[in-house]
Structure 1
Amino acid sequence: MEKLKMHSPDLTQDNIARLRELFPGCVTEAKSEDGSVKLAVDFDQLRQELSGSVVEGPQERYHLNWPGKREALLTANAPIAKTLRPCRHESVDFDTTRNLFIEGDNLDALKLLQETYLGKVKIIYIDPPYNTGSDFIYSDNFVVDPETHKLRSGEKDEAAQRLIANTDANGRFHSDWLSMMMPRLKLARNLLRDDGVLFVSIHDVELASLKKLCEEIFGAENFVGQVTWKARVKPVNIGEAKYRPQKEVEYVLMYQKSYVPRTFFPLFTGGERSYPHEIDGRKYRLTTILKSNRGANFRSTMSFSLGDYSPPEGQRWQAGEDVIHQLNNDGYIEFRDGTPFRRYFEDEEGAEHDPFYCFMEVDWSSTSEAGKSQLNEILGNQHGFDTVKPVRLIKTLIQACTSRQDNHLVMDFFGGSGTTAHAVMQLNSEDGGNREFMVVQVSEPSITKSGIAKYETIAELCKERIRRSGAAVLASDTHDGWGRDIGFRVLKIASSNMADIYYAPDSLDKANVDLFVDNIKPDRTAEDLLFQVMLDWGVDLALPIAKQAIQGKEVFCVDGSALIACFDAHGGIDEGFVKELTKYQPLRVVFRDAGFKDSAVKINVEQIFKSLSPSTEVKCI
């Protein structure tokens, strides 16, 4: 019987089959023999992508480079033997929620999620350290061979060992920051849907470097735009910055996973705005959106029945009829007197008439100060955050790229104070949406200027903010169609549930074989094992889980019969029990190796399922 591997996937072998799709950074500008510059495959970079060790020998070309880049690439590809352990008592509505909170190093989290959420995330928003000279960044262990990396068992889980200050006196100031960001962005790209979008908040210190890094990972052609927003009203204190321009703005870079037919809605800049139009007592500004070769469209404040309406004779819908109908169903097209308020069509020959127009609600009064004030209202002022992203900013970005009806997944792997989760719940409550969030935050110590922190770690603060903001959203006026999901499952990154011998059976000392009858660590629960199996098998971690007794044995049923697991370790699994499980016709079933009555039962399990439930995949741990 095949065993589950119980470690994160080794991406190096996958890279070979999907080079063009997964590694746009391997296509670069290079000088040919005749002196002309053209696109070419960066074979040095390709060799590194497909190598298990650091490869030397770069040649001169246009690209972003820094000391430690190859080690960072190696670390992105190397698998780890870790898991996610559920924590029910810190969760909210554990059994019914579709939201997840993952506590631990975000690099480990991104690796663990590669199979389960590959190509499933609609939006990733992150607010990483800005590298201003006073930030903490992750201290990743780059120079380690893949097998050693693979068998790392969480020896650096403590935040104090995972995070280091990166002062501008550090000779590797920019290099260390880029080495931290590169593997995380590469892994994040894998998780995005084909129509997925990445938003990254950044300050001007690393704006240029981040843009070059994202273009290498996503491809320059997938740069969508740069949003400049007014982050603060109060000017930066003079002091150390007295010889620099005072900063009032920050930026959000936007990249798409790949070019596919999609809808992008208007993004905005900060600064003073006039709002000359009023609809139902709400102020709007007329925004002009020109047609884009990437299928950019628009969002309006009203929608009416499209019905049998079609463009005038000799003209056609610019975005295509199917897209227009979908936009209308989602509430993005405005009609007046039975026709579109502005033309959304063009001549059959393709000549444009008017630009696209729409009404778009714009309110950028929300700043970092406003975000901090929001956090103060929820948690009090002993939280240690000087700047906090406002809910309105994140909510608008999410609203611009998601549909309320499609269970779009929104991820933030620099969770911070939990603004992204708050924004998702707030937006859902307003428009009746069913978007889901996944937030990752390491257990970084929470320190205020006074040294007195109400919460021991940022992760604890983030979870409490989500609990309280969810309750506040639930208590406010909400859309009748909202499912009212304000819960989240807490999953904590930990060393694998499997003993080291599981990964290296050849190293077993035959003289001590009796010590290794069970290959599972003694402090792990059946639910711990279940979540590692779900990770390994690529099963959605937010699916409902039911527990029942069958013939006196504890059995987990994930989403009905998507996965059935029995981790009985006392030799009670016999053929009668196995036949009983076949009645559920599960897609997958897993047993614990130590649970079989004897070797004959273990051998016969697959044949029993093949006969009585042929579509079931059977494995053991």
Structure 2
Amino acid sequence: MTTEDIKEIPGTTPNFQTDLARQLEELVPEAISDGRVDVVKLQELLGADVADSSERFGLFWPGKKRALRAAQEPTSATLRPDRKNSKDWDTTKNVFIEGDNLEVLKILQKHYHGKIKMIYIDPPYNTGKDFIYPDNYKEGLDTYLEWTKQVNKEGKKVSTNSESEGRYHSNWLNMMYPRLKLARNLLTLDGVVFISIDDNEQDNLKKVCNEVFGESNFVAELPTIMNLKGNNDQFGFAGTHEYTLVYARSVNHLVLDQFPVDDEGLERWDTDERGPFKRGASLKATGTNAPRAKRPNLFFPIYVSPALEVSLTEQAGWTELLPITDGAEMSWRWSREKFLNDLYDVIVVPSGSSFTLYKKQRPTLGDIPTSKPKSTFYKPEYSSGSGTAAIKQLFDGKKVFDNPKPLGLLQDFIQLGAGRDGIVLDLFAGSAAIAHAVMALNRSDGGQRRTISIQLPEPVTEGSDAEALGYKTICEVARARIVKAGDSFAEQLEFLGVPGGVQDLGFRAFVLSDTSFSKWRVASDTDVDSLTEHLLSLRDSAADDVTHDALLTELLLKQGYSLTEDWSELEVDGLVLRSVGDGLLLAYLDERTKPTHDQLRSIVDEEPARFVILEDAFQGDDELKTNLSQLCKSKGVELWTA
């Protein structure tokens, strides 16, 4: 048996520093010396493209290097399925994750890299009263587990970031920087991120985003009117707005959708049998390539009838038109073939004794006329009060969350950036307004957008309506909101006679936790002797209190599967397995029941693409392990152990 026959599932997420070096080795192998990056050589190769280190331009703050390392540090964390707090587990493609979003972003890298169409970020605004995530930039998972009482009973160390504590802006930037770095990796090439922010950190956030996403990928900074009456608590001026920063993964690939025009705008549109239109560009070409000499095939006659009909065939009484401007022979924008096929999209306008031809401009969103959004965002439904009203409606008039984002505003962001079937990642989910907005938008336009919401289990405010209703954390409020919003949409669909199941109104819930495998529960900086002692002390691969579903979820995540994979139980020759993707992957996760050779043969005879088995299921029988390897090799089955 060779080591190539059995693949071992890694215990942590990838080491991003190592991955980056590996990419550099492929691009510029001469910059790698003795397994390390030769920075001096790299600078020589880049030549004039290297910035003068003595006069660097950028945003710098205390802790920036440590914050970057926090993003690069691998994690052994996993996500445990929480079926009890889920809705429609078996059918939904939406996800809600309770946990620190920095650790969660690392876990999502394997499968969701380059798959998220839109990211929405509504971070703490750093007003001095905001909760700041419990990072210490060394043991992110350990800090989180301690904070959530999963390790000890010291209690939640809720903290705010007040100016009196010093490094006021630095603390906030150290929280945001690693999260933005990891979030960018998840965007599709045509993906986009929307970030809400106010004056406290708007200038710093834009500089950080210029660094993370690239200044060339800046799309817009949108003043967003949230309160026309103004906030009189502000000094000097009654504040009416926040900001929304918009960045593309690649501005060369991003195509933002548009908004349907309002009633006033509709007055400028006409309608024919093919739907709405208005006058577009002239069909006579202009510019340096317009002369007939450059485009001879686009110089030909068009004939117009007295009734303003158009034809390419000469007819008695019809007027001949040629693309001539001030006596100079030019060309048409369309070919003969396009004219023949699209005559219905030509507008004829009398012009003196002749005529001018124009293109009918059609809307870009189905049959609805659309317009490019303005750079100042304002609608009455964007008011902060409408966000509160929406959540009160779901919770019997109770204000269970402070300052929820307005649904109308979020729906417009989603319409612009998520397409009709993209995945929307909500990095600071709060009350899950994005999940609510996606359901509402899918309900109105028939879209199939999906959501991933991440929220820290921050305690609700003491004495609040949320606490009075029995909710202990913001996560509990958020999950309840999704359920209640989904139920209300289901009632609407039932009232309209729409069959149930047409719209995805559920979510799979997961909770961030330490790895389910005892052998992987080792800090990254553990010395070799301590690591050896730890491994020798272990008798089982998995912790005693872990379910098979939890083990399977972790193994799937570390192999690059999504959080919404379909799986089921399957019995083969007396052994209970987990079957993923209708048998493409089979997993045997019972380390206490040693399978026989014949039972393993029966599993391999199912011919899955991949078979996963716990290392301790062999119970030290190397011969059985070798035989399984040979069986898998004979059937072309990938064998993985954990």
Q: Indicate whether the TM-score tops 0.5.
A: yes
Distance in 2, Cα, partners of 1:514 & 1:357:
68
Alignment partner, residue 246 of structure 1: 238
Instruction: Find the aligned partners of 1:202 and 1:218 in 2 and give their Cα distance.
Output: 17
Determine if the alignment matches structure 1 residue 617 to structure 2 residue 638: yes
Instruction: Report what 2:450 is aligned to.
Output: 436
Number of equivalences: 529
Match of 2:344 in 1: 338
Give a deviation string over 1:121-142, Cα, whole Å, max 9, x none.
1100111111122211113112
Compared with structure 1, are the counterparts of its residues 424 and 512 closer, same or farther at alpha carbon in structure 2 (3 Å cutoff)? Answer: closer
CA change 1:83–1:411 in 2 (3 A) is same
The CA distance in 2 between the partners of 1:513 and 1:266, in whole Å, is: 57
Go from structure 1 to structure 2 and tell me whether the alpha carbon gap of 1:450 and 1:440 turns closer, same or farther (over 3 Å shift). closer
- Report the alpha carbon displacement of residue 479 of structure 1 after superposing the two structures with TM: 10
Structure 1 position 605 matched with structure 2 position 628: yes
Partner of 2:90: 95
Q: Secondary structure at the match of 2:412?
A: helix
Post-superposition offset of 1:523: 1.0
SS of the residue corresponding to residue 116 of structure 1 reads helix
- How far apart are 1:286 and its partner, in Å? 10
TM-superposed CA distance for 1:483, in Å, is 3.1
- CA 1:480/1:341 → structure 2, altered by over 3 Å: closer, same or farther? farther
Q: Give, in angstroms, the shift of residue 433 of structure 1.
A: 1.5
8 Å Cα contact 2:430/2:475 also seen in 1: yes
User: Is the counterpart of residue 13 in structure 1 residue 14 in structure 2?
Assistant: no
Q: 1:379-528, aligned counterparts within 5 Å?
A: 379-404=395-420, 407-447=421-461, 450=464, 453=467, 454=469, 455-477=471-493, 483-500=502-519, 503=522, 507=529, 516-528=538-550
CA contact (8 A) 2:10 2:558 kept: yes
CA shift for structure 1 position 442? 0.8
Contact 2:407–2:433 (CA under 8 A) maintained in structure 1:
yes
**Which of 503, 523, 531 is residue 553 of structure 2 equivalent to?**
531
Change (3 A) 1:509 1:421: closer
User: How many Å separate the matches in 2 of 1:194 and 1:423?
Assistant: 24
Residue 245 of structure 2 aligns to a residue in which SS? strand
Looking at structure 1, the residues matched to 143 and 7 of structure 2 have their Cα atoms a distance apart, in angstroms, of: 24
Instruction: Give the C-alpha shift of residue 226 in structure 1.
Output: 1.8
Alignment of 1:582 with 2:604, yes or no, is: yes
**Normalization by structure 2: what TM-score?**
0.74
Paired letter, 1:620: T
Deviation per CA, 1:457-511: give whole Å up to 9, x if none: 0000000000010111222257969831111110100111121566579647999
Matches of 1:465 and 1:452, distance apart in 2: 12
**How far does residue 267 in structure 1 lie from its aligned partner after superposition?**
7.3
SS at 2:461's partner residue? coil
Alpha carbons of structure 1 residues 339 and 128: separation in structure 2 relative to 1, 3 Å = same
Candidates 580, 584, 587, aligned match of 1:562:
584
Q: Structure 1 vs Structure 2: percent identity of aligned residues?
A: 33
What is the CA–CA distance in structure 2 between the aligned matches of 1:316 and 1:565, rounded to whole Å? 59
Correspondent of 1:547 among 566, 569, 584: 569
Residue deviations 1:47-90, cap 9 Å, x none?
Answer: xxxxxxxxxxx743110111111110111100111111001111
Partner of 1:3: 8
- In the alignment, the residues of structure 2 paired with residue 75 and residue 509 of structure 1 have an alpha-carbon distance, to the nearest angstrom, of 22
Change (3 A) 1:340 1:618: farther
Shift of 1:219: 0.3
Contact 1:422/1:469 (8 A) holds in 2: yes
Deviation of 1:428 after TM superposition, in Å, equals: 1.3
Structure 1 portions without partners, runs of 5+: 23-37, 44-57, 290-311, 322-334, 343-351
Equivalent position SS for 1:98:
coil
Deviation track 1:259-285 (CA, whole Å, cap 9, x = no partner) reads 44342234799xxx98353589xxx99
Distance in 2, Cα, partners of 1:590 & 1:287: 62
1:8-66 CA-to-partner distances (Å, cap 9, x unmatched) read 221111223456999xxxxxxxxxxxxxxx984469xxxxxxxxxxxxxx743110111
CA distance change for structure 1 residues 285 and 209 in 2, over 3 Å: closer, same or farther?
farther
Any conservation in 2 of the 1:371–1:388 contact (CA below 8 Å)?
yes
Q: Deviations over 1:377-417 (max 9, x none)?
A: 0124544533111111111111112332xx41110010001
Q: Distance in 2 between matches of 1:109 and 1:563?
A: 24
Q: Which runs of 4+ in 1 moved over 6 A?
A: 19-22, 148-153, 284-289, 352-358, 478-482, 508-514
8 Å contact kept, 2:118–2:192: yes
CA contact (8 A) 1:555 1:564 kept: yes
2:346 touches 2:360 (CA, 8 Å); kept in 1? Answer: no
* 3-state secondary structure, aligned to 1:169: helix
Q: Distance in 2 between matches of 1:170 and 1:543?
A: 45
Cα 1:575–1:388, aligned 2, differ >3 Å: closer, same or farther? same
- Tell me if structure 1 keeps the 8 A contact 2:114–2:185: yes
Q: 1:316 to 1:99 in 2, by over 3 A?
A: farther
Q: Is the Cα–Cα contact under 8 Å of residues 443 and 458 in structure 1 kept in the other structure? A: yes
- Give the alignment partner of residue 369 of structure 1, picking from 367, 385, 390: 385
> What aligned pairs does 1:196-207 form with structure 2 within 5 A after superposition?
196-207=191-202
Distance in 2, Cα, partners of 1:416 & 1:498: 31
Greater CA drift, 569-578 or 186-195: 569-578
Q: Secondary structure of the residue that 2:105 maps to in structure 1?
A: helix
Are the counterparts in 1 of residues 435 and 482 from structure 2 also a CA contact under 8 Å? yes
Deviation, 1:228, is 2.2
Deviations 1:332-375 (A, max 9, x none): xxx99932899xxxxxxxxx999998733788221211011000
Residue in structure 2 matched with residue 261 of structure 1 by the alignment: 253
CA distance 1:368–1:537, change in 2 (3 Å): same
Give the 3 Å change call, closer, same or farther, for CA 435–501 of structure 1 in structure 2: closer
Please give the per-residue CA displacement for 1:521-556, whole angstroms capped at 9, x wherever unaligned.
Answer: 111111110011011101111011111222222211
Aligned in 2, Cα 1:6/1:383: closer, same or farther, shift over 3 Å?
Answer: farther
One-letter code aligned to 2:253: P
Instruction: Return the alpha-carbon distance in structure 2 between the equivalents of residues 158 and 135 of structure 1.
Output: 21
The residue number in structure 1 matching 2:171 is: 176
Corresponding residue of 1:324: none
- Which structure is larger by alpha-carbon Rg, 1 or 2? 2
